[in-house]
Amino acid sequence: MADASEAGCPVCGAQVMETVHDSKTGTSLSSLCQILPGAKIVRFCNACGHLAGNGVADAQSFYETDYRILIEDEDEDQIYETRDDRIVTRTDHQMALVLDKVTLEPGSHVLDYGCAKAAMARKLLDARPDLKMHLFDVSQMYENFWDRLVAKDRQAVHRTPEAWDGQFDLITSFFAFEHIDDPAGAMAHVARLLKSGGHLHMIVPDVFGNAADFIVIDHVNHFTRPSLIRLLADAGLGEAEIDQTSYRGALVVTARKTGVTSSEATDTGDISSIGERARALSAFWTAAAVAINSSEEERDTAAIYGSGFYGAFIYAHLQRPGAVAGFIDRSPWLQGKKLFGVPILAPEALPEGVNIVYAGLNPAIAPGIIEAQPWFGRDGLRIVYLQ
Ligand SMILES: [Zn+2]
């Protein structure tokens, strides 16, 4: 494995990037917990602070056919958090943020860039039926959802019609840019579509707020504050606000099309620490795999709390995955389904015979969740955390 890659930085074009992570595994998980061939490799750009992933082999067919995010049910959603037993979904929280960050005149032209099944566009239209909503993505498989929402001339797949250039007051993009091979080209596209003075409101994962982002193979970009500022500035977007606190595990970006491109806009302040923090993430995941393997005992009956990414990571690393009696998940949308053929159960339904529970949760919040369970402290029950 060479230290430097031949491919340049997808944000700033710097020739040399340094490899900071190589899982050296035959398979990797996707962000939807599919097991896909290939190791995950992350490279660091010392010039702009970007972290780039190696990506999925044959990405185009992956997004056309395999990337079925919550496609089964229009109302299916993912939990952001629970407040006093009330479930707040990700789209609820995203909706609150966009309304807070952006002021929209009546009849504004809005484009959701990388909209998937357009759940956010639907939510925005419910609240603001006056908006002229448009939809763009790189897959045709969402068109049934789109047709229920907007006319065909407000839908675009792969490329946008010329008539859309310079038309938009607001472009939103929720968890799309981390999948895009050429983020600089896509941001230039966004800038072309915006009116002069129009706004971009974008959310991308924060690799330093959500460690899972680091190892999923379909995330080819792990944006950092300086790499985002560089990406925006090169496209002529300024007045950038990068909010690292309003959305757990994500960066909420707002910027305005000022038309001034400035490659000097890189905030070099924290670039030097990013490489170090990325190496620490690499060490975390390596140690997590060791923690899982070293805790396994032959006669275990196991449960994995969390049927999201961390739970899948645990399952994929167990020597004896057959010992897993169930995944445990709070989400009513997931209970009763299966992951890797194993049933997903409500927390109250932990089977009696289980003697080991793996905490398949974001490590930052895992102890608080596990210790609140009715079975926590049960005689002979071992809990394994990823760190
Ligand atoms: Zn760079």
Q: Are 143 and 221 part of one and the same domain?
A: yes
1-18 exposure pattern, b = at least 16 Cβ within 10 A, e = fewer: eeeebeeebbbbeeeebe
Q: Are 273 and 331 part of one and the same domain?
A: no
Give Cα separations from 99 to 118, 201, 285, 356 (angstroms): 17, 10, 36, 44
pTM of the model: 0.84
CA of residue 241 to ligand 1 center, whole Å:
20
CA distance 350 to 116: 34
CA of residue 10 to ligand 1 center, whole Å:
7
CA of residue 51 to ligand 1 center, whole Å:
8
Per-residue pLDDT at 86:
81
CA of residue 231 to ligand 1 center, whole Å:
9
28-42 exposure pattern, b = at least 16 Cβ within 10 A, e = fewer: bbbbbbbebeebbbb
CATH code of residue 335: 3.40.50.720
Per-residue pLDDT at 67:
55
Per-residue pLDDT at 76:
52
Per-residue pLDDT at 68:
53
Per-residue pLDDT at 71:
43
CA of residue 44 to ligand 1 center, whole Å:
8
Residue 92: domain span: 1-295
Q: Are 94 and 198 part of one and the same domain?
A: yes
CA of residue 141 to ligand 1 center, whole Å:
33
Last residue of a domain, one of 295, 318, 341: 295
Q: Are 285 and 357 part of one and the same domain?
A: no
CA of residue 135 to ligand 1 center, whole Å:
29
CA of residue 47 to ligand 1 center, whole Å:
5
Per-residue pLDDT at 83:
74
Last residue of a domain, one of 262, 295, 328: 295
CA of residue 22 to ligand 1 center, whole Å:
19
CA of residue 228 to ligand 1 center, whole Å:
10
Q: Are 25 and 125 part of one and the same domain?
A: yes
> What are the average pLDDT values for consecutive 10-residue runs of the chain, which has 387 residues?
63 95 86 84 96 83 58 57 79 91 95 94 94 95 93 97 98 96 97 98 95 93 96 95 94 94 64 94 91 91 93 90 95 89 95 96 90 95 93
Per-residue pLDDT at 78:
72
Other beta carbons within 10 angstroms of residue 144's beta carbon come to 11
CA of residue 52 to ligand 1 center, whole Å:
9
Per-residue pLDDT at 81:
76
Q: Are 301 and 328 part of one and the same domain?
A: yes
Question: Count of domains in the chain?
Answer: 2
CA distance 369 to 373: 7
CA of residue 131 to ligand 1 center, whole Å:
36
Per-residue pLDDT at 4:
44
Per-residue pLDDT at 266:
54
CA of residue 230 to ligand 1 center, whole Å:
8
Per-residue pLDDT at 1:
38
